[in-house]
């Protein structure tokens, strides 16, 4: 099988470094692309849009020789949903990892509601006015509260600005395209960024063919990489065809 793993806000492909090798060791092909302007991709966020993200990812999906497993973490949920609308024929399943699962016509804020005030206080608008940064002092209590300290510190050293266009993106989804791709959800029960009650509200509103539960923080790729890898493998193997 072919796995494509997409990182969330302020993060890049580096966050899959403990998961991708386990999927590859099980005999699968794994891609961990940086979205344009994120991670190691140094394109200017000021010159990009949400459409650039989805078009690049849809092109990667379509290039594969068989339908892919497309998994997204956190903010990447809105990206993989839009790609499912664009290229449903190229997908075996989508997997949302503590991710935003928003219906047609909705933005992230519509399904998340107001953020925790302390979490919101950690977000600072960049001088460019097109992106935000996150206060690394708050990274561990919110994103990495069950993660080993050395990995939380590594994450803090690798964050990059997050574009405002992600929060402004409105889903354009249809039952005939997005709706025909089987979707699964991996909830994280100790999540302090997207609390599990909000995760459950999202997948209750847009039911998934399966929901798996991990007793982790928002970042199971670092806090429980083996458990997350096993969950992804199981979901991929069992996906309806």
State the residue range of the domain holding 157: 2-238
Residues 102/74, Cβ–Cβ less than 8 Å: no
Provide the β-strand partners of residue 6: 72
Angstrom distance (rounded) from CA 78 to CA 70: 12
Provide the β-strand partners of residue 54: none
What mean pLDDT is reported for the chain? 97
In the numeric block, which tokens belong to residue 119? 């979490």
In the numeric block, which tokens belong to residue 5? 């793993």
Residues 58/33, Cβ–Cβ less than 8 Å: no
Please state, in angstroms and as integers, the Cα–Cα distance from residue 207 to each residue in 8, 58, 75, 80, 194, following that order.
22, 23, 18, 16, 18
pTM value is 0.98
In percent, how much of the chain has pLDDT > 70?
Answer: 100
In the numeric block, which tokens belong to residue 193? 């960024």
In this predicted structure, the answer to whether residue 66 has a pLDDT above a threshold of 90 is yes
Residues 6+ apart with CB under 8 A from 13: 5, 7, 32, 33, 34, 39, 40
Helix count and strand count (H, E) for the chain: 11, 9
* Amino acid 235: pLDDT: 98
Query: What is the pLDDT averaged over residues 109-138?
Result: 95
Angstrom distance (rounded) from CA 112 to CA 42: 29
Angstrom distance (rounded) from CA 83 to CA 54: 6
Residues 6+ apart with CB under 8 A from 66: 1, 2, 92
Query: What is the pLDDT averaged over residues 109-123?
Result: 93
Angstrom distance (rounded) from CA 133 to CA 146: 22
| Three-state secondary structure call for residue 163 | strand
Q: Which tens digit of pLDDT belongs to each residue from 230-240? A: 999 999 999 99
* Amino acid 215: pLDDT: 98
In this predicted structure, the answer to whether residue 115 has a pLDDT above a threshold of 90 is no
User: Which CATH number does the domain housing residue 164 bear?
Assistant: 3.40.50.1820
Query: What is the pLDDT averaged over residues 22-44?
Result: 97
Instruction: Report how many domains make up the chain.
Output: 1
Residue 73 banded pLDDT, cuts 50, 70, 90: very high
């Amino acid at each position: 099988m072919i796995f494509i793993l997409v990182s969330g806000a302020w993060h890049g492909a580096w966050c899959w470094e403990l998961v991708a090798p386990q999927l590859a060791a099980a005999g699968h092909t794994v891609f961990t692309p940086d979205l344009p302007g994120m991670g190691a991709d140094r394109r200017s966020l000021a010159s990009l849009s949400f459409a650039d993200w989805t078009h690049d990812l849809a092109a990667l999906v379509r290039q594969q020789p068989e339908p892919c497993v497309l998994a997204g973490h956190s903010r990447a949920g809105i990206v993989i949903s839009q790609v499912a609308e664009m290229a449903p024929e190229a997908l075996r399943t989508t997997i949302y990892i503590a991710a935003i699962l928003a219906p047609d016509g909705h933005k992230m804020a519509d399904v998340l509601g107001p953020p925790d005030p302390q979490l919101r206080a950690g977000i600072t608008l960049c001088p460019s006015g097109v992106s935000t940064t996150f206060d690394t002092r708050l990274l561990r209590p919110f994103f990495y509260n069950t993660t080993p300290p050395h990995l939380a510190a590594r994450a803090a050293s690798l964050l990059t600005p997050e574009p405002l266009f992600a929060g402004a993106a409105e889903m354009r989804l249809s039952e005939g395209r997005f709706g025909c791709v089987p979707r699964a959800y991996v909830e994280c029960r100790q999540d302090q960024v997207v609390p599990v009650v909000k995760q459950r509200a999202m997948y209750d509103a847009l039911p998934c063919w399966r929901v798996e539960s991990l007793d982790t923080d928002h970042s199971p790729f670092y806090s429980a990489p083996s458990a997350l890898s096993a969950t992804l493998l199981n979901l991929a193997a069992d996906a309806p065809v």
